[in-house]
Amino acid sequence: MRMRGVLAGTLAVVALGLFAARPHAADGPYQLVKDIQIGGEGGWDYLNVDSAAKRLYVSHATKVVVIDLAKNEILGEIADTPGVHGAVSTGPLGRVFTSNGRGNSASIVDAKTLQTISKVETPANPDFIMFEPKQKEVYTFNGGGRSATVIDAASGKVMATIPLGGKPEAGVSDGAGRVFVNVEDKHNIAVIDIAKHEVVANWPIAPGEEAAGLALDIKNHRLFIGAHNSLMLMMDSTTGRVVAQVPIGPGVDATWFDPGTGYVFSSCGDGTLTIAHEDSPAKLTVLQTLKTERGARTMALDPSTHRIYVAAARYEAPAAGAPANARPQIVPNSMHLLVYGIDGK
């Protein structure tokens, strides 16, 4: 389990053992508009927006914090999700699914009451979770199990377990019959046929390595890949050919695409968030590098407002004599969300 909110050996220590105040955004389309306090203890992982319901789901240690995006405040919590990595809405079906990494399960939750209906067993460490709209199925990508579990969103029945041959990270659906997923330790994209529930292709991401974030421009058939060798790649989603690349910061963990603006986002653990633009099906251009906070490596996009939400926290100074690569501890109650909008809106 990679806890995105905690970085080992990469966090610089400043006076009093805490990070300095957040810098303002660099010149560019996005500016900081809000800081939503979450508090509590523990790290976090993925964030997901339900635009129709105006909700943001934030994984946080053993629970999911639900944010009301109309009011920019906490609406409630989904409890009993040990080692949760992510939560995803199924829209009109009225359910939310969570991937419980330490529980080796997915929770099925009533979206209205936020109460757990049941749990579905999965292979080890379900990590990234997504809803596939065409077949109305939920996919958990199981890091320890090196597989994907496919769950019927209405019945909660496991439809298939798909071997992936390596450790999966983020996935995305084209809405037309395929799901794409990063296989991090194999440096490739696995292509899944959603009707057959099987891998039909594996595409290398070279010159990228150890891909984490993944997004898709459905209209132009372009995948955007956030790779750990500090690259954002653009790949043709029909052929698997890498057609463009731009530099990003180290420690990327989330990548999103906004079809309304053509912007692509990669959030990185060094405290930077790269915003690129898809100029053409063969060209990417970096427009802005936001200065966020160290460890702020996961984010979510609301395509209806074009706002982006970045999870962050402060960290304590390491104890005297601690190893250089010792995992820093989060300052209790310091977790919060940085909200960025175009031209401050």
Where are the chain's structural domains?
A: 23-316+330-342
> How confident is the model over 244-248, as a mean pLDDT?
98
Q: What is the pLDDT of residue 316?
A: 86
Q: What's the pLDDT band for 319 if we cut at 50, 70, 90? A: confident
Q: What is the pLDDT of residue 21?
A: 35
What is the dotted CATH code of the domain comprising 23-316+330-342? Answer: 2.130.10.10
Q: What is the pLDDT of residue 317?
A: 83
Q: What is the pLDDT of residue 15?
A: 29
Model confidence pLDDT, tens digit, residues 75-91? 999 999 999 999 999 99
Q: What is the pLDDT of residue 17?
A: 33
- Judge whether residue 1 has pLDDT over 50: no
What predicted TM-score, i.e. pTM, was given to this entire model?
Answer: 0.91
Q: What is the pLDDT of residue 18?
A: 31
Q: What is the pLDDT of residue 285?
A: 98
> How confident is the model over 294-310, as a mean pLDDT?
97
Annotate 92-103 with b (16+ C-beta within 10 A) or e (fewer).
Answer: eeebbbbbbbeb
Q: What is the pLDDT of residue 107?
A: 98
> How confident is the model over 306-318, as a mean pLDDT?
93
| Omega before 23 within 30 of 0, i.e. cis | no
9, two tokens: 């050996």
Q: What's the pLDDT band for 328 if we cut at 50, 70, 90? A: confident
Q: Find all residues with CB under 8 Å of 320, minimum gap 6, and list them.
A: none
Q: In what order do the strands lie in the sheet with 30-37?
A: 30-37, 336-342, 307-312, 299-302
Cα 118 to Cα 97: distance, rounded to the nearest angstrom: 10
Q: Kindly compute the dihedral angle of the four CA atoms of residues 18, 21, 26, 31, in this order, to the nearest 10 degrees.
A: 120
Return mean pLDDT, the chain: 92
Cα 106 to Cα 19: distance, rounded to the nearest angstrom: 35
> How confident is the model over 299-321, as a mean pLDDT?
92
> How confident is the model over 127-151, as a mean pLDDT?
98
> How confident is the model over 255-271, as a mean pLDDT?
97
| Closest C-alpha among 286, 283, 261 to residue 272 | 286
> How confident is the model over 216-229, as a mean pLDDT?
98
- Judge whether residue 204 has pLDDT over 50: yes
